[in-house]
């Protein structure tokens, strides 16, 4: 794990930053950039934004939705003064590269990479326009930026990981779930972000004398088999912000429910689907923050290299009470007391 990233991350947790970006489909032409929508001095500038998203799943889709909402709230709205070229790489590395090269050759005003691999490709290929990233675990270790504060160049964005969230989840498992000796991690070890988060989880569990047992997958269709392979060997299941695995979360929920195994995730959306708990935040808010960064760049001329990379600030426990019942978990008052916003984060 990149020590510089996590040290910088701890400092970044105390900084307040605004920033912005957007994504969708249907870019037509870029000839009207800066042109007027009428005559005289009443012209309105139009914008084009190109988006590369690694795959569609709830957390990444919510990131995109929040991004677009922030633009709209600032008066940059698709169908009026905004064109968005949305590209879904469908988890394919060849598609990721093709999309980044296409964006590099476009006349877009700004590019957005949602998830680590797509952001890495944009950082490598796009040099002549501002680039933002979202849903990236460790942008330093991934080679996207060299530092979180004023990273320089033409790129900045938001990390979706605060190490405290992982540690708090592991501490909860160790102290609140009875008799846990082994925790199963379903992981795509080809995703750098998943490996980094898995290492943090493993170290946190070691402090409690608990072992992390990994079940690797090569694609989302392997997730069910990996989850099945852990039955009888582990006392709880966990997944990171692992795009391939999150896409197959329904299969893990099925295994967890059938075998009464508490299932923990690293994102709210998977808890809403049927995992029991996470320490997390709303990806919509994460995307909205990046959308605000885009507004600063597009409307106010901010240089992305001078804008700090942000990290999640509003962490909270999130419980799914129906999932708890399905997975044989008795949710105690002590557990509930850990939830700061019980109205929104205890899901009945």
- Please give the chain's pLDDT, 348 residues, in tens: 454 455 455 444 434 333 333 333 333 333 334 443 333 444 579 999 999 999 998 899 999 999 999 999 999 999 999 999 999 999 999 999 999 999 999 999 999 999 999 999 999 999 999 999 999 989 999 999 999 999 999 999 999 988 899 999 999 999 999 999 999 999 999 988 899 999 999 999 999 999 999 999 999 999 999 999 999 999 999 999 998 999 999 999 999 999 999 999 999 999 999 999 999 888 999 999 999 999 999 999 999 999 999 988 789 999 999 999 999 999 999 999 999 999 999 999
Collapsed DSSP state (helix, strand, coil) of residue 196: helix
For residues 217 and 322, state if they share a domain: yes
Buried-state track 305-342, b at ≥16 Cβ within 10 A, e below 16: eebbbbbbeebbbbbbeebbebbebebeeebeebbeee
Token couple for 205: 């569990």
For residues 255 and 129, state if they share a domain: no
Query: Which residues constitute the domain of residue 43?
Result: 3-160+283-306
The CA distance from 89 to 199, in Å, is: 27
The CA distance from 138 to 120, in Å, is: 11
Can you give the pLDDT at residue 282?
87
Dihedral, CA of residue 201, residue 203, residue 209 and residue 212, to nearest 10: 50
Please, what is the Cα angle at 60 between 249 and 221, to 5 degrees?
35
Secondary structure (DSSP) of 36-49: -SSSTT-----EEE
For residues 198 and 263, state if they share a domain: yes
For residues 216 and 263, state if they share a domain: yes
Strand order of the β-sheet with 131-136 is: 82-88, 47-53, 110-114, 131-136, 155-159
For residues 155 and 111, state if they share a domain: yes
For residues 151 and 27, state if they share a domain: yes
For residues 67 and 197, state if they share a domain: no
The CA distance from 303 to 312, in Å, is: 22
Intra-chain end-to-end CA distance of the chain, in Å: 37
The CA distance from 262 to 175, in Å, is: 14
Our count of domains for the chain comes to 2
For residues 255 and 325, state if they share a domain: yes
Q: Supply the pTM of this predicted model.
A: 0.74
Can you give the pLDDT at residue 27?
36
For residues 122 and 139, state if they share a domain: yes
Total length of the chain: 348
For residues 116 and 32, state if they share a domain: yes
Can you give the pLDDT at residue 17?
37
For residues 83 and 182, state if they share a domain: no
- Say which CATH number the domain at 147 has: 3.40.50.2300
Element (H, E) at 86: strand 82-88
For residues 270 and 288, state if they share a domain: no
Residue position matching structure tokens 């804008």: 307
- Extended strands (E) in 89-179: 110-114, 131-136, 155-159
């Amino acid at each position: 794990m990149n020590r510089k990233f996590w040290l910088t991350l701890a400092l970044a947790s105390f900084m307040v930053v605004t920033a912005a970006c957007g994504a969708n489909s249907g870019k037509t032409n870029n000839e009207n950039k800066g042109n007027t929508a009428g005559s005289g001095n009443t012209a309105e500038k139009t914008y084009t934004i190109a988006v590369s998203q690694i795959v569609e799943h709830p957390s990444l889709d919510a990131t995109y939705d929040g991004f677009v909402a922030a633009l709209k709230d600032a008066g940059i709205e698709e169908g009026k003064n905004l064109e968005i070229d949305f590209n879904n790489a469908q988890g394919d590395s060849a598609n990721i590269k093709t999309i980044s090269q296409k964006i590099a050759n476009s006349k877009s005003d700004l590019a957005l990479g949602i998830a680590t691999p797509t952001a890495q490709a944009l950082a490598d290929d796009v040099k002549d326009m501002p680039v933002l990233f979202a849903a990236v675990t460790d942008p330093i270790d991934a080679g996207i930026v060299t530092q979180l504060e004023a990273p320089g160049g033409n790129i900045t964005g938001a990390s979706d990981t605060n190490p405290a969230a992982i540690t708090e989840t592991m501490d909860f498992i160790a102290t609140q779930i009875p008799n846990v000796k082994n925790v199963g991690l379903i992981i795509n070890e080809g995703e750098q972000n998943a490996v980094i988060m898995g290492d943090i989880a493993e170290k946190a569990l070691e402090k409690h004398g608990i072992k992390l047992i990994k079940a690797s997958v090569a694609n989302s269709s392997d997730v069910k088999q990996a989850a099945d392979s852990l039955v009888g060997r582990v006392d709880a299941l966990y997944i990171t912000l692992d795009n391939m695995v999150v896409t197959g979360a329904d299969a893990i929920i099925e295994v967890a429910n059938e075998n009464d195994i508490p299932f923990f995730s690293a994102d709210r959306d998977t808890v809403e689907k049927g995992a029991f708990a996470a320490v997390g935040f709303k990806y919509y808010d994460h995307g909205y923050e990046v959308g605000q960064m885009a507004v600063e760049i597009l409307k106010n001329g901010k240089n992305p290299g001078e804008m700090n990379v942000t990290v999640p600030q509003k962490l909270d426990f999130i419980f799914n009470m129906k999932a708890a019942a399905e997975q044989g978990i008795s949710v105690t008052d002590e557990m509930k007391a850990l939830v700061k916003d019980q109205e929104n984060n205890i899901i009945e």
